[in-house]
Amino acid sequence: MWKLLRYLKDYKKETALAPLFKMLEASFELLVPLVMAAIIDVGIAKGDSPYIIKMCLVMIALGIIGLVCSITAQFFSAKAAVGFSTKLRRALFAHIESLSFSEMDKLGTSTLITRMTSDINQAQSGVNLVLRLFLRSPFIVIGAMVMAFTVDVKAAMIFVVTIPLLCIVVFGVMFISIPLYKKVQAGLDKVLGITRENLTGVRVIRAFAKEDEELEYFKENNEELTRLQMFVGRISSLMNPITYVIINAATVALIYQGALRVNVGDLTQGEVVALVNYMSQILVELVKLANLIITVTKAIACGNRIQTVFDMKPSFVREDFAKLVENGGHDGKSSKDKFDKLIKAADSSPYILEFDNVGLTYKDSKEEALTDINIKVKSGETIGVIGGTGSGKSSLVHMIPRFYDATRGEVRFHGVNVKELPLEELRNHIGIVMQKAVLFKGSIAENLRWGKQDATEEEMWEALKVSQAEEFVKTKEGQLEFEIAQGGKNLSGGQRQRMTIARAVVKKPEILIMDDSASALDYATDLKLRQAVAGMKQKITTFIVSQRASSIKDADRIVVLDDGLICGYGTHDELLDNCEIYKEIYDSQFKKKEVREVR
């Protein structure tokens, strides 16, 4: 948590002024019991009405000054806390964006959402309350004890005994609560994950009539979270009654001793009232401190969870990424210059892409997902990638734009190891269409401009034509200005896939990767798509990952994967002759088709 306080560095003035004004308010508050004692011992005892009025005006003045100080402190603390959370959220988002697929897979989406929202809000509340109360409350408690000594040393000894007892209770509860609040937040992560999964998969749940099972599963986890929250709540709730008992016992002792000493003339009635007021101030401030500590305990637990995300270092470092997010973007000129310089300085390679004895091991995995991958691809070639489920097809193509980094060997782009190239510029030369078609809320044009920010209408229509999306886009109201719902929910599966293909094509990349991106298209549309991509004006090197042999059989060369190993590499005809696995895949699809046609 303490490492996160660096995001307060731009609010040094506010973090200093907020507690300062609170302490000023507390100082004026500590003077009030002395004024009351003077009113009783001098004004009331002597029947001096002008003196009573004068001292009442002093009390009103102290109250007004204290109010002004309090409002000023509130303003500065709120400004610092909101600024802190803004910078923290921005930095966390930038860090999450810098993580590779390996780290994202390990963390999970639901926990990242919780940490970006609930945890940061809790940390913000903690900072706000600390700036307002963390110095004020101890100052009042210690100040009240000091002021009690100025009134009467013997009576003040009750304060000396009471305050340490209260500290033991308060800090004891805090140390017990902190680890428990961590468990509460972890439970919240789990409930959020279940909720998210159910909302995104609601159609599947209803299709399989699993509503009752999912309700029961959610109920179990929600009740477990509730039990844990209630347990922590009970421990935290012990603080108030125990502190009240100690304070009230101390007050009884104070009044009893005060009464005896007033009777013998050692104390005045006003001094006893002042001492009781100081004890009451301690009670009020310790109640505030107790609530503060509960909030701070939650904030520390949440801050530690946020820090664990920052502590997770990306497997590769994207240059200037944090600066890019913080400053709202840059022209990327330095990255482009570095990229061009490296490509130019490299030995002229006849290949646009090379996999040289590449191995890939996922994080926390003992076995390689890909082993000894050796592929050389010339510019303009079409490479098909096929294999069984879990054979490593997506892992292979994901190493090209460095979604995953090779743990052994090298992946080279124009003869340069991709790890040496500026990441942003490398990805500018690659267009990728993922297995899951993800679109964002906004117009069709806005979604296409993810591929190329300055794309003209002509370029967008050309990309739509290549992706076979032109026909259905023209039927939409507003055409390019048609609003796509979040996640593309107002489009069919095939339409979403064609839109994501158009988004990748519009940037006119050197390498186009289609990762099983035509699975929702019929065979005729799939064929037209491949023909359109092959017929594009610019020379594009294409990787087609597919389960369909028909989608890759016309590729220049085909990579056949089996359990992370290349078991076949060549043309369609060559593989039919010498690769048993490819022949099995092909026969399983085309023989069935022939049988259906005969029937």
Q: Which CATH number is associated with domain 84-313?
A: 1.20.1560.10
Domain 331-429+510-599: give its CATH code. Answer: 3.40.50.300
For the record, the structure tokens of 262 come out as: 């007033």
Radius of gyration of the chain from its Cα atoms, rounded to whole angstroms: 35
Calculate mean pLDDT across residues 386-411.
Answer: 87
Tell me what pLDDT residue 523 has: 79
Residue pair 316/423 in contact (Cβ under 8 Å)? The answer is: yes
Phi, psi of 512 (to 5 degrees): -115, 120
Report the candidate in 262, 285, 255 with the shortest Cα–Cα distance to residue 139.
Answer: 285
Per-residue pLDDT tens over the stretch 159-190: 888 878 887 887 787 778 777 877 887 788 78
Mark 527-563 as b/e (b = at least 16 C-beta within 10 Å): bebbeebeeeeeebbbbbbbebbebbbbbbbbbbbbe
What does the pLDDT look like over 472-485, one tens digit per residue? 888 888 888 888 88
User: What is the pTM for the complete model shown?
Assistant: 0.67
Whether residue 308 has pLDDT greater than 80: yes
Q: Cα–Cα distance between 467 and 444 in angstroms, integer?
A: 14
Specify the 3-state DSSP secondary structure of 371: strand
Structure confidence at residue 253 (pLDDT) = 85
Q: What's the pLDDT score for residue 328?
A: 46
Contact 282, 247 (CB under 8 A): yes
Contacts of 358 (CB under 8 A, 6+ apart): 370, 372, 373, 374, 399, 406, 408, 409, 410, 411
The whole-angstrom separation of Cα 457 and Cα 344 is 33
Range(s) of the chain covered by CATH 3.40.50.300:
331-429+510-599, 435-508
DSSP per-residue codes, 437-453: ----SEEHHHHHTTT-T
Please, what is the average pLDDT of the chain? 82
Per-residue pLDDT tens over the stretch 374-390: 999 998 889 999 888 88
Q: What is the pLDDT confidence band of residue 333, given thresholds at 50, 70 and 90?
A: low
User: Band of the pLDDT at 592, cuts 50, 70, 90?
Assistant: low
Amino acid at residue number 427: R
10 Å CB burial of residue 237 (0-12, 13-18, 19+) is middle
- Per CATH, domain 435-508 is 3.90.25.10: no
d(CA 305, CA 108): 14
| Residue 375: strand, helix, or coil | strand
One-letter amino acid at 354 equals: E
Ramachandran class of 575: left when φ > 0, alpha when ψ lies in -120 to 50, beta otherwise: alpha
* pLDDT tens digits for range 440-460: 888 889 888 888 888 888 888
pLDDT tens-place string over residues 337-358: 777 777 777 767 788 899 999 9
pLDDT band at 315 (very low <50, low <70, confident <90, very high): low
Q: Is 574 exposed, middle or buried (0-12, 13-18, 19+ CB in 10 A)?
A: middle
CA distances from 165 to 145, 162, 168, 247 (A): 14, 5, 5, 10
Query: Is residue 326 predicted with pLDDT exceeding 70?
Result: no
In whole angstroms, give the CA distance from residue 552 to residue 571. 10
Cα 176 to its chain centre, rounded Å, is: 27
User: Are the C-beta atoms of residues 256 and 262 closer than 8 Å to each other?
Assistant: no
Judged by average pLDDT, the poorest of 79-83, 244-248, 287-291, 430-434 is 287-291
CB 440 within 8 A of CB 503: no
State how far Cα 596 lies from the chain centre: 51
Strand 382-387 with 541-545, pairing: parallel
What's residue 316's pLDDT? Answer: 62
Start-end of CATH 1.20.1560.10 domains in the chain: 84-313
Q: In the predicted model, is pLDDT for residue 591 greater than 70?
A: no
Structure tokens at 559: 């990579």
In the three-class reduction of DSSP (H, G, I as helix; E, B as strand; rest coil), residue 543 is classed as strand
Question: Do residues 557 and 384 lie in contact, with contact meaning Cβ atoms separated by under 8 Å?
Answer: yes
Phi, psi of 429 (to 5 degrees): -95, 0
- 486: Cα separation from own chain's centroid: 20
pLDDT digits (tens, 9 = 90+) for 529-549: 888 888 887 788 999 888 888
Question: Of 268-277, 460-469, 554-563, which gets the smallest average pLDDT?
Answer: 268-277
Within its chain, how far is the Cα of 474 from the centroid?
38
The DSSP-derived string for 425-438 is HHHHTEEEE-SS--
For the beta carbon of residue 139, count every other beta carbon within 10 angstroms.
Answer: 20
pLDDT tens, residue by residue, 15-64: 888 888 888 888 888 888 888 888 887 878 777 888 888 888 988 898 89
